[in-house]
Amino acid sequence: MAKELDFEQIKSAAEAYGKDMTAFLRAMISHPSESCEEGEVVACIKAEMEKLGFDKVEVDGLGNVIGWMGEGDKIIAIDSHIDTVGIGNRDNWEADPYEGYETDELIYGRGGSDQEGGMASATYAAKMMKDLGLIPEGYKIMVVGSVQEEDCDGMCWQYIVNKYFDGPEDAREKIEFVISTEPTDGGIYRGHRGRMEIRVDVHGVSCHGSAPDRGDNAIYKMADIIADVRALNNNGCDESTDIKGLVKMLDPKYNPEHFEDARFLGRGTCTVSQIFYTSPSRCAVADSCAISIDRRMTAGETWDSCLQEIRDLPAVKKYGDDVKVSMYMYDRPSWKGTVYETEAYFPTWINAESAAHVQALVDAHHELFGEERIGCEPSMDKRAGRPLTDKWTFSTNCVSIQGRYGIPCVGFGPGAESQAHAPNEVTYKQDLVTCAALYTAALNLYDPSKKTGDVTVFRAGATDNDIK
């Protein structure tokens, strides 16, 4: 039975804080906060939480800022990553990306959609819950401003789970679920594809460029491998196809247990994203070549199946011991100087649509706003006609929260995926208000008695590396 809530009161409270949320977001945008350089925006967020009367505000050893409301034993967390990518070519921006100027409908600047807007909504939702006496009984609200997500999705939550809490079992026991505030274009998202960062190295032998036959050109070898990687991404999966494409995971023949979830999440992809080489000079044969592969994984694909897929490519087999296929590791120090080494592996995850924490957000949206996605006029071309419950195209911190540790996640956040990493990034003022209202209502409509054991439909397994 749904809790009796005054939904009009919740909407009115959110609207009343609209200008404050806009001002807070503009303040965050004014502090450049690329990955590993988030110190200033952390201080900005901490000060805002303290001003609003959070029960406790702290910065952990990695540099994540965490605000608490409530006194219960169980936790519902709302996560927003507060780092951004860079601005790229400044000439592509029509105005100062760090000014955070506003119009009647929009807030402009790097990080607005991706994803400091979510931090503004989450912070004020917790304030609203305190104001209205709507902190759910038995729960604490944990509002997280997480760092380094753009560099290494989920690493911040690996740190939280293993250093702030006493490991995965303790975190799973205490945290009921997590709302990710990544931009969702007005939808409620219950999963997304995983990803890996794969490296392929090829050995060659240098010689003078005037007599290339004396050497063994690593770039030529890599050219063959790149052609096979492209085929793996582009090919179909007919029996006659030598390199069967990744689309095969949508076929029950190749993915009998998870093809339906794969169709929901979308097929996996692979793309060559970087290329490196060594050579004694511009008039010499290259003696090594390496590529990075951005690999997106759908349901049914695992870290080892993706590595093996590259190792099984005809060109990789052809060059035998001269080829090494591996997974990148990540070890950049945080803005506090802390190193938390992990692998560049970000597991796929998906929830059942009927999961209690997903339904809490769906029920809240129906009560507050109806059954269709909403937004201001400039946003609706990407929202009208799309299902309310959907999935992200890109990756989020949920790869660790749910993908690694099995803590249930769900997504609803201000802004648009299309704005992420793009010049002239904007978010929408109305979205800040909508999200704050929905978080408040959803946390109060959540019914833990409706939890079932099949919340997670697919969660890719951990690797055999000693990584927590």
Catalytic residue list: 83, 149
Tokens of 399: 């790869």
Pairing of strands 74-81, 175-180: parallel
Interacting residues of 280 by C-beta distance below 8 A, sequence separation 6+: 206, 287
- DSSP label at 182? S
Find the angle CA(415)-CA(421)-CA(423) to the nearest 5 degrees: 90
Cα distance between residue 142 and residue 178, in whole Å: 9
User: How deeply is 240 buried, as exposed, middle or buried, from its count of CB atoms within 10 A (0-12, 13-18, 19+)?
Assistant: exposed
The helix (run of H) or strand (run of E) holding residue 68 is strand 65-69
SS3 467: coil
Cα distance between residue 193 and residue 170, in whole Å: 26
Cα distance between residue 440 and residue 382, in whole Å: 25
Q: What amino acid occupies position 416?
A: A
Cα distance between residue 62 and residue 271, in whole Å: 31
SS3 224: helix
The CB density around residue 199, as the number of other CB atoms within 10 Å, is 18
**CA within 13 Å, CB half, 217:** 14
What is the widest separation between alpha-carbon atoms in the chain?
82
CB 249 within 8 A of CB 238: no
Instruction: Specify the residue for token string 């201000």.
Output: 414
Sign, CA torsion 167/168/174/176: positive
User: How deeply is 163 buried, as exposed, middle or buried, from its count of CB atoms within 10 A (0-12, 13-18, 19+)?
Assistant: middle
Q: Phi first, then psi: what are they for 122, rounded to 5°?
A: -65, -45
Q: To 10 degrees, the CA torsion angle through 217, 221, 223, 228?
A: 180
For residue 396, CA distances in Å to 86, 218, 336 come to: 18, 35, 22
Tokens of 423: 């010049």
